[in-house]
Amino acid sequence: MTIKTKEFILRPYKMTDAQDVARNINDMAIIRCLALNIYPYKLKDAKIFLKRHLLEEKKKNPDSQSFVIEINGEAVGSIGLHKIVKGHKASIGYWLAKKYWGQGIMTKVVKLVTAFAFKQYKLKRIYARVYLFNMEN
Ligand SMILES: CC(C)(COP(=O)(O)OP(=O)(O)OC[C@H]1O[C@@H](n2cnc3c(N)ncnc32)[C@H](O)[C@@H]1OP(=O)(O)O)[C@@H](O)C(=O)NCCC(=O)NCCS
């Protein structure tokens, strides 16, 4: 599934995204907000993640679906639906390279992906886990 807008493309991950993912996610401001305990995040970490992820999505009924956020040919972020229970619920998580923060990009991405997910998986609820330290922001 690919969603194209003027600002960005949402598309499935490819193994060749490893370098962009490693470069853009390797930022403590991002890592501390994700359920990822890896820092520094290196190319090999991105390759391990992508291999696992691509295998999971090949399954007949994958329990997750992710999109890469591509801008100018670069993978600059991602958004994923996880723990998908069709007809019921899924969780959502996302990150974006810092150079694109504060431009309303993720607001648009979340709207598109939640609209897609409610329809595709006939969901009643999409939820996100939050860190209490986000109160600081
Ligand atoms: C969260 C993140 C994706 C926001 O992307 P973005 O494109 O800059 O977001 P937007 O420009 O669409 O801003 C959306 C709103 O969220 C707010 N926001 C951004 N980061 C926030 C944070 N950590 N805590 C609380 N609010 C936050 C913005 O101030 C903005 O509010 P406004 O509409 O009232 O101005 C980006 O900061 C990021 O990758 N953070 C690290 C990973 C992360 O926290 N992921 C979310 C949890 S899974």
DSSP assignments along 58-104, one per residue: HSSS-S-EEEEEEETTEEEEEEEEEEEETTTEEEEEEEE-GGGTTSS
Minimal-distance CA residue to ligand 1 atom 10: 104
pLDDT at residue 111 in the model:
98
* The pLDDT of residue 69 is above 90: yes
127 lines ligand 1 (CB under 6 A): no
User: What is the residue extent of each domain of the chain?
Assistant: 3-136
* The pLDDT of residue 137 is above 60: no
Q: What is the mean pLDDT of the chain?
A: 95
91-115 pLDDT tens trace? 999 999 999 999 999 999 999 999 9
State the Cα–Cα distance between residues 93 and 79, nearest whole angstrom. 6
Q: Give Cα separations from 63 to 38, 41, 105 (angstroms).
A: 23, 25, 26
93 lines ligand 1 (CB under 6 A): yes
What is the CATH topology of the domain spanning 3-136?
A: Aminopeptidase (3.40.630)
State the Cα–Cα distance between residues 108 and 128, nearest whole angstrom. 17
Q: If you average pLDDT over residues 58-63, what whole number do you get?
A: 89
Q: Find, among 11, 6, 4, 5, the residue nearest to 76 by Cα.
A: 11
79 lines ligand 1 (CB under 6 A): no
Q: Provide the whole-model pTM.
A: 0.94
Tokens of residue 83, six digits? 């723990």
CA 121 to ligand 1 centroid distance, Å: 25
10-60 pLDDT tens trace? 999 999 999 999 999 999 999 999 878 899 999 999 999 999 999 998 998
State the Cα–Cα distance between residues 37 and 51, nearest whole angstrom. 18
The distance of Cα 86 from the centroid of its chain, to the nearest Å, equals 19
